[in-house]
Chains A and B, each alone.
Chain A
Amino acid sequence: MNIINFTPQSAFLGGIIIGLAVIIFFIGNGRLAGISGIVNDTLVSKQNRTDNFLFVIGLVLGPIFYIFLTKIDIPFLITSSLPIIISAGLLVGIGTKIGSGCTSGHGICGISRLSLRSITATIIFMITAIITVKLIG
């Protein structure tokens, strides 16, 4: 194992900003910023649909604001092929729906609430993701 491309400062700062988003959504609307749930509910649930939709719109506006304010391009690279992308998208959709959450819902909100379910979920998806990268990387 070699450590490369490590950017602790920007990672930590970005994390703090994400944490702010989580607490604003929680204190204001009483909800957890679990993005798989919010996106899924926008699609299939009538409850809070406008709120959910606006959150999703905000997610897209975020990077635009960032680029506009900092004039810095966001490094972005996908090297996967289209069939892999489509399969991965399907697995992420199915998996987060059945497992009730993703990196934000379980990994950030759930761990912050010391939920044993979320801690377990996070350990599991980290392990299968690391194995996947090891196998196909």
Chain B
Amino acid sequence: MISRIISLISGTIFGVGLSVSNMINPEKVLGFLDLFGQWDPSLIFVMLGAIIVSAPVFFLYRNKNKPLFADNFSISTLKSIDKNLIIGSGTFGIGWGMVGFCPGPAISSLALLNTYSVFFVLSMLGGFLLTKLLDRIIIPTQHT
């Protein structure tokens, strides 16, 4: 039960962070990706802020074997830099650069009732399902 409240709270705080930093706004993100044009470095500061807060916690918890409200930590143990990681990340980047939406901001932006956000999120879900379907045939994937 508590884990559900934690999930809701974490998601909400995450969504507030995306709003405060304006990363929910595709135009802002495209400003960052427009490195060779009119560049807006803000996204780097978002990542820095998040990493500065979370990295010490990950470090301190590296030897703990139990979180507060779940039986165990569920964290990817994958180490190898394989073909899937490279092809998948490359593909994701193309989609990200086309509109300026990655999954978090796209979901959060549903709050702003923009029709385009709805279309993007539905297509993204379609991409997940399509990959699951193809997964059985050609490309075995593992998710963090």
Contact = CB atoms under 8 A, between A and B. Distances in A.
Given A12-B49, A15-B49, A89 B122 contact: yes
Contacts of A2: 37-39
B9 A90 contact: no
Contact of A62 (B6, B16, B73): B16
Interface in B48-93: 48-55, 57-58, 61, 66-76, 78-81, 84-93
Contacts of A127: 93
Contacts of B76: 32, 100, 115, 117
Contact of B92 (A1, A79, A99): A99
B46 A133 contact: no
A16 B51 CA distance: 8
A27 B67 contact: yes
A121 B46 CA distance: 18
Given A58-B7, A89-B122, A98-B139, A133 B70 contact: no
The number of chain A residues touching the other chain, given as a range, is: 35 or more
A131 B97 contact: yes
Nearest to A131: B97
Contacts of B114: 76, 78
A48 to B, nearest CB: 8
B20 interface: yes
Contacts, number: 519
Chain A CB count within 10 A is highest, among B28, B52, B75, B116, for B116
Contact of B22 (A17, A75, A89, A112): A75
Interface in B8-26: 8-26
A36 B131 CA distance: 13
A17 B142 CA distance: 29
Given A111-B51, A128-B94, 6 more contacts: A21-B11, A33-B10, A51-B4, A98-B88, A105-B144, A112-B51
21 contacts: A6-B42, A12-B46, A17-B17, A17-B21, A18-B17, A18-B18, A29-B7, A30-B66, A58-B9, A60-B108, A62-B12, A75-B28, A88-B99, A98-B87, A100-B85, A111-B55, A112-B51, A112-B58, A114-B55, A116-B79, A125-B89
Interface of B: 2-4, 6-28, 30-31, 33-55, 57-58, 61, 66-76, 78-81, 84-104, 106-112, 114, 116-117, 119-132, 139, 141-144
Nearest first, the 6 closest Cβ-Cβ pairs linking A and B are A62-B15, A93-B127, A15-B49, A58-B11, A99-B88, A14-B21
